[in-house]
Structure 1
Amino acid sequence: MGELLAVGSLLMEGTTVRLAGQDSRRGTFGQRHAVLIDRHTGEDYTPLLYLSEDQARFNVYDSLLSEYAAMGFEYGYSLARPDSLVMWEAQFGDFVNGASTVVDEFISSAEQKWGQTSGVTLLLPHGYEGQGPDHSSARIERFLQLCAQNNMTVAAPTLPSNYFHLLRWQVHNPHHKPLVVFTPKSMLRLKAAASKAEEFTTGGFRPLIGDATVDPDQVRKVVFCSGKVYYDLEAERAKRGVTDTAIIRLERLYPLPTDEIRTEIARYRNAATYVWAQEEPANQGAWPFIALNLVDHLQLIIGSDSVAGADRLRRVSRPASSSPAVGSAKRHQVEQQTLLNEVFEL
């Protein structure tokens, strides 16, 4: 709903919106319903085409099963129509690897190589829910490895309102950059992942969401995370009745929101333990990027007189693996609980 509200508001402002991908008209997870089909006549009906008389055009397509061709076309379209919101969606984020040439040669580097700017947006469903190695990871680590010189924005919103503001920001941002969004799967139906109406009508995109549920003076442990694992951590904290642990969400991974991180950490004067928690294996996900970048900021913020920042920031994740995920749902649940236990037993 947050996504459709963003699209609808942009259309009514006069911004053309284009979305293409595998099963994008209804959404792979049955969540979008951008196009309705009469089961008796086969007629299509697209509600977002009928918002106002002077609205912009909304184009949504189910593309062929070729990530390379489809993403390449949308990238080219974004160059020809820089005033539009142009989105390409993977059926599962994992499938973006079929278009890695487009990402490497154009999306991440075209501005530096040729001064060619694009606002193309990639929607990549991501999250570990026990669906196997080919339906879990959008390979966050690969995108973050390509990030430098403010070449693109990489985000993993956990609230519909934040996703809403992110898409609108992508259109209104004067700096034309590609946007990579790690979009939710199980969060689409998670009651905790909801926003109030006023969160859409006020404010803007929040690159970091702090923890308003704890007393800062009582916090002894600060946990950083990104994406769907936040809700797993929050549920486990509530189940255990833990009150001395703050959970901070990084909604934007690049550029890293360093000012917001410093402001949030400054609230926890008595914290002694800092953790990066992720669902992905240690050699994947955001950790390789976080280990290189967040550690330096921790040293500046909390000091390095007795213990180095690198030692203060501890990683909790699945062990390093050549596969993005296991193939057994039961094994996945065991790993997930082990991960949660480690976060709260440190």
Structure 2
Amino acid sequence: MKYHLGTEGTFTASTGSTTKVYLAANPSHLEAVNGVLEGVVRAKQDRIDLGGAGFSVLPLLIHGDAAFAGQGVVTETLQLSQLRGYRTGGTVHVIINNQVGFTTGASSSRSTLYSTDVAKGLQIPIFHVNGDDPEAVAHVAELAFDYRQEFNKDVIIDMVCYRRRGHNEGDDPSMTQPVMYSLIEKKRSVRKLYTEALVGRGDLTEDEAEEALQHYKSELERVFTEARKSDGQQSSATQVAGLERPESQMEDAGVIIGWQTAVPDKVLAHIGAAHTRPPEGFNVHPKLNQLLDKRSQMSTDGAVDWAFGEILAFGSLLMEGTPVRLAGQDSRRGTFVQRHAVLHDRLNGAEWTPLMYLSPDQSKFWVYDSSLSEYACLAFEYGYSVERPDALVLWEAQFGDFVNGAQVVIDEFISAAEQKWGQTSSVVLLLPHGYEGQGPDHSSARKERFLQLAAEDNMIVAEPSTPANHFHLLRRQAYQRPRRPLVVFTPKQLLRLKAATSSIEDFTSGTFQPVIGDSSVDPAAVQRVLLCSGRVYYDLLAERSKREDATTALVRIEQLYPLDAEQIVAELDRYPNAEFVWVQDEPRNQGAWTYLITRLPAYVPVVAERGMRVISRPASAAPSAGTAKVHQAEQATLLEEAFAR
């Protein structure tokens, strides 16, 4: 909807003073934009970079009374306000308190006296003010601003007023709030009440008041007439003239010329060596000394594991001048004790972040542990990415299963914002995914949901199977234009699997591979091609080796959307005598199967000709079995079916 479209511009006061104003694009989902706006503001502040005095951008959030009390994301966002990774120096919250939510009265929509009572636990000052008194409202606004500037904390203005016409102009609220609206019908407007007060005090005459009113009406009429004259004459590209696109959304924002994803071997060695140079007197935890030495060794000798491959991507981008921000639950250490981007002094708790000490002219690296929230935190990172096209911005779920706690952000912003508002983002979602017998709440990041939302090149969905391909994918994401969100299904078991390591040459040459073919078999002898993605590839590889099977090829689809049809065609055409089978860990009604069977035949002629079947777990209401024993039995059956003739 046009009135949900964001813009930016300059406000000029009657005194001639000016200030820049940014309006965030927002959906009808109440309060969903809260975290997004905070992320945009933090990104602006980080770009200005005034250090401890850097709260030079003021976030202003406007709420309804029912939504403020009823939507949990309000509390999630308030909880971010004083956290190191999220603070913006205080937000001014303005509640337009109509004393009703659509048709629902306060007694049915909250259990507190005031809609603002949910904020009391955070010690946020709340100003209740009569909306019929403009001077009181202005006074409270000044108080709120002064408080924010002095203490860098959130503040709430609860403007108690009413809605004369109901939820929309055609709605009749008297059917559900008859007593309230019998009173409202008798009330004079705020303008009339204030005019009478000004005239009564002698601040202006009745003639001056009437003149001001007529001038205002004539201005409204003039703008309305101009709008009607231009209606239908503008192209679709300019039909929102006057709503300028924010600078960060320009097509050339953050563009880097001549980029590539491979890096010189000396860059890898430099990043590895940085992990063996702790600050003087820093006491590394005994369990981590070996890890740091190993990272230095991997940077020159190879056998690079997943976590260090990711560190190499971050470090190389920083050295090239691209800022990196990573946030999520336990992201500094990593849920699976793998990342260790920040180390803590064993004796005094001091912190050391090796990637912050690569070179004097490197870009900034921010890595934060978040609150235990998905909705507000993912919204924040999305907003940050919208405003910082020059940065690689990543949000990581503790387990991919928990990403559905932020489903509103995925549906309203990540998948649809470009189509709705022309708003682009390159935010990265790191979603741990893998069937290792950990049960239905720790196995699936719900590939099927993201693939259902994938259309019109709105996002990239990938599941790399090697550290090097993950490295190239992240570096490509930082530089590729036009910008698109990236959803990465990251591994758990593969973090320490020796078979899932990469050589130095894999990082210093090549680029991201959307499809990885099989060079270990004779194509003419292949009777079956098993297509797959993610960790199941290594199970299939081990099973094929165990069976000494030379008639089965393994092909990995590393980028699920958009599919690289050209590479898939080139790989599958190598096997003239083979049947095609998709193998997945997930149940048949989940995972990538239903998406692929509707897409591949249209893009890949050989699949349309020969068909493709699936080997998977049976269709299931839950993502996985609840016991390790059942999981192992299902996995054995899956592998048997994959190779049985």
TM-score class normalised by the smaller sequence: over 0.9
Q: What residue in structure 1 maps to residue 594 of structure 2? A: 288
Computing the radius of gyration from Cα coordinates, the structure with the larger value is: 2
Amino acid at match of 2:558: E
Secondary structure at the aligned position of 1:213 is classed as: coil
- Partner of residue 582 from structure 2, selected from 259, 276, 294: 276
Distance in 2 separating the partners of 1:139 and 1:149: 20
Equivalent residues in 2 for 1:1-346, closer than 5 Å? 1-271=308-578, 273-298=579-604, 300-301=605-606, 304=609, 309=610, 312-346=611-645
Amino acid at match of 2:639: L
Aligned length: 338
Q: Could you report, residue by residue, the CA deviation over 1:193-243 in whole angstroms, capped at 9, with x for unpaired residues?
A: 011101100010000000011011111111100110000001001111110
Distance in 2 separating the partners of 1:45 and 1:270: 57
Q: Could you report, residue by residue, the CA deviation over 1:291-344 in whole angstroms, capped at 9, with x for unpaired residues?
A: 11113344x12663xxxx4xx311000000000011101111110010000010
Secondary structure at the aligned position of 1:20 is classed as: strand
Distance in 2 separating the partners of 1:302 and 1:248: 14
Q: Going by fraction, where is helix more abundant, 1 or 2? A: 2
Q: Could you report, residue by residue, the CA deviation over 1:219-268 in whole angstroms, capped at 9, with x for unpaired residues?
A: 11111001100000010011111100001000000001110010001111
Q: Could you report, residue by residue, the CA deviation over 1:264-298 in whole angstroms, capped at 9, with x for unpaired residues?
A: 01111221x11000000000000110111113344
Secondary structure at the aligned position of 2:502 is classed as: coil
Q: Could you report, residue by residue, the CA deviation over 1:131-152 in whole angstroms, capped at 9, with x for unpaired residues?
A: 0100000000000000000000
Q: What residue in structure 1 maps to residue 21 of structure 2? A: none
Distance in 2 separating the partners of 1:301 and 1:277: 18
Amino acid at match of 1:301: V
Measured on the aligned residues, the alpha-carbon RMSD in Å equals 0.9
Q: Could you report, residue by residue, the CA deviation over 1:76-95 in whole angstroms, capped at 9, with x for unpaired residues?
A: 11111111000000000000
RCO (CA 8 Å, sep 6+): is it higher in 1 or 2? Answer: 1
Amino acid at match of 2:442: H
Secondary structure at the aligned position of 1:279 is classed as: strand
Secondary structure at the aligned position of 1:88 is classed as: strand
Distance in 2 separating the partners of 1:94 and 1:325: 11
Amino acid at match of 2:369: D
Distance in 1 separating the partners of 2:608 and 2:424: 39
Distance in 1 separating the partners of 2:601 and 2:608: 11
Secondary structure at the aligned position of 2:366 is classed as: strand
Distance in 2 separating the partners of 1:275 and 1:315: 5
Distance in 2 separating the partners of 1:139 and 1:24: 21
Amino acid at match of 1:287: W
Q: Could you report, residue by residue, the CA deviation over 1:31-70 in whole angstroms, capped at 9, with x for unpaired residues?
A: 1010000121010110000000000000000000110010
Distance in 2 separating the partners of 1:78 and 1:150: 18
Secondary structure at the aligned position of 1:7 is classed as: helix
User: 4+ residue stretches of structure 1 with deviation over 3 A?
Assistant: none
Distance in 2 separating the partners of 1:16 and 1:296: 40
Shift of 1:27: 0.6
Structure 1, unpaired ranges of 5+? none
Distance in 1 separating the partners of 2:580 and 2:463: 21
Distance 1:104 1:10, change over 3 A: same
Distance in 1 separating the partners of 2:529 and 2:482: 33
Conserved? CA contact 2:580–2:607, under 8 Å: no
Identity, in percent, stands at 64
Secondary structure at the aligned position of 1:19 is classed as: strand
Distance 1:323 1:4, change over 3 A: same
Distance in 2 separating the partners of 1:292 and 1:116: 29
Secondary structure at the aligned position of 1:182 is classed as: strand
Structure 2, unpaired ranges of 5+? 1-307
Distance in 2 separating the partners of 1:295 and 1:234: 26
Conserved? CA contact 2:602–2:608, under 8 Å: no
Distance in 2 separating the partners of 1:80 and 1:169: 19
